[in-house]
Each structure stands twice: as C-alpha cells, then as structure tokens.
Amino acid sequence: MRIAVFGANGPTGRRLIEQALAAGHEVVAVTRRPDSLSARPGLAVAVADATDPAAVDAAIDGTDAVLSALGARFSKGTITTYSASATVITGAMARHGIKRLLTVSSSITDPDWRPTGAHFFNHVLDPLVNRRLGRTLHEDMRRMEAVIRQTGLDWTFVRPSGLFEHPVVTDYHTAETSADGVFTARADLAASMLREMTERRYVRTAMGVITTAVKPNIAKLIWNEGVKKK
C-alpha cells in the first residue's frame, strides 16, 4: 500500500515509517521539516502543515490510507492541533476518495478507562498529569474524535496509554474502546496501527493498545515525556 503518515517527524511517526517501509509499503512522510528525514527507498517526503488544505490535498494525492501520529505538548491554553488537522485531513480524504484513516488518540478519551490494579496511577498520576496538566490537550483529542465520527470514512481511533520508548515490537494487546493497562511502547503503537490498517478489526470504532511484556521506569518516563520535552 501507499500510505501517508502525518506527524512523520515525531517519535511515533518515525516508528511508523520504519515499520511500514520494512513491511514493503510505500510511505509519504508529511512534515513541515523535510530536512530531518533521511532519503530511503520507498519513502517520499511531502512538505505540508496539517492545517493547510491545499498542502494536505497535494500530500495525500495517490495514497491508499492515511495514518496520523500528530501530537501536541501540554499547555494551559486552548489546543487545536488535533481537531483542526482532523478537519483538513478528512476533507482532503473525501475529495480524493481515500477511505482508510487511523489516527492516534488516547485512552483518556474513554471516560470509563481505569486500569485494573493501578492504584497509584488511577489516584495520583492520572488526576494530576492527564486530567489536570493534560486537560486542554485531551479536550482537543475529544473534539478530533467528534470531527472524524461525522465523516463517512473507514476510521479507527488508536488509543494508547502512557507512551514510552522500547527498541522492538512486543506481544502487545488490543481491545475495543480502550485496553486495560497503563503503558504503551511506541513500537507497539506503530505495529498495531499498521496491522489494523489491513486487518480492519476496529473500523469505525476505537482500538485500545497496551504493552504488557515490559514496563518503563516511571521516573525516567516522567523525565523523558514531561520534563525533558519542555
């Protein structure tokens, strides 16, 4: 397949590109910073802001599916990255007749998500980090999901839990709506998206994905994903 990857420069986007090329797909990496991506067989680079209709139109022309790994940082102010890009991307897909869309969301968008046995996470980390520091980000993820739900596309919301780095794909677990776990390796997130792109088990619904084989160091995770990124 020929797939467009939005958020190509991000940590999940890079995993998607690597795994997709290894699987024999052709990839169009959609980015505002093309110089940061190395040329490789099967990889084309499209320079586009995901909220620019004309640029997105040109970027996805000739592709069979769109995978979005766009992300934003926590902010006290209103975030529109997810919903604004979803509006533009879905509009372009409709014009080009491209049906398959997979977009990274979060387990937090499921109001009933509470990982089993994760007392410290459920009562300390989740209220502080996700519900307070990440409130405006997750509000926009919900707006993004609402925008996409209104389309006639074959969409899948991919909902990881707390993201961390792990060098290889593990025996990850997926479930409808959200998965019962606290963490998701980015390698597993990318692998689950590429598998679902063709297997189509979760079309027009959400797919939770979690990593169970390994767990991150919590202090290192908070440093890498929170403090260091600022």
Classify residue 24 as exposed, middle or buried by CB count within 10 Å of its CB (0-12, 13-18, 19+).
Answer: exposed
DSSP annotation of 66 reads: E
| Residue count (the chain) | 230
The two three-digit tokens of residue 23, written as one number: 């699987």
Residue 227's pLDDT is: 47
Is the alpha carbon torsion for 36, 194, 185, 176 positive or negative?
positive
Query: Is the entire prediction scored with pTM above 0.85?
Result: yes
Query: 94: which strand partners?
Result: none
The two three-digit tokens of residue 197, written as one number: 């792109």
Residue 133's pLDDT is: 73
Reported as type and span, the H/E element at residue 100 is strand 100-104
Residue ranges in the chain whose pLDDT is less than 50? 227, 230
Residue 118's pLDDT is: 79
The two three-digit tokens of residue 218, written as one number: 């919590």
Residue 131's pLDDT is: 67
Measured distance CA(96)–CA(105) in Å, rounded: 24
